[in-house]
Amino acid sequence: MIDVLYQISQKLSPVDQVKAGVSKLLTTTGELKQAIDAGDEAKVKAPGPKLEGIWKTFEDGVKPRYPDLYEQLKKSLNPEVAGAQVSPLDKQTLGKLNDQLT
């Protein structure tokens, strides 16, 4: 049983890694908000995929601890990343998605 617990613990991201990831996500959503508000499609397209990359660095630490929050974040993240890649930019929808994610 101790072996199983050890294996499970290896799959959990340390709290510091989760905190750092959340901080990076907040910074990126802030940058995205500025780009959306400015209507700058080039700047909107850069942070969109970056959000998914940041999320992957700590999502395994969130899922077992906060499964509901994990699902909410996944629901908000996927449309926002996709919306950031659409041209022409739908500022209103993308702004709403970014606010929900934040």
1 confidence band (pLDDT: 50, 70, 90):
very low
In a domain, 40, yes or no: yes
Nearest to 66 by CA among 98, 22, 23, 31: 22
Output the pLDDT for position 5: 52
Q: How high is the pLDDT of residue 4?
A: 58
For residue 37, being part of any structural domain is answered with: yes
Q: Which domain holds residue 75?
A: 14-101
Q: What is the average pLDDT score of the chain?
A: 81
**CA torsion sign, 75 to 11 to 57 to 17?**
positive
User: Residues 39-79: pLDDT tens digits?
Assistant: 888 888 887 778 888 988 888 888 887 888 888 888 888 88
**What pLDDT shows up at residue 91?**
85
How many structural domains is the chain composed of?
Answer: 1
Q: Is residue 2 part of a domain?
A: no
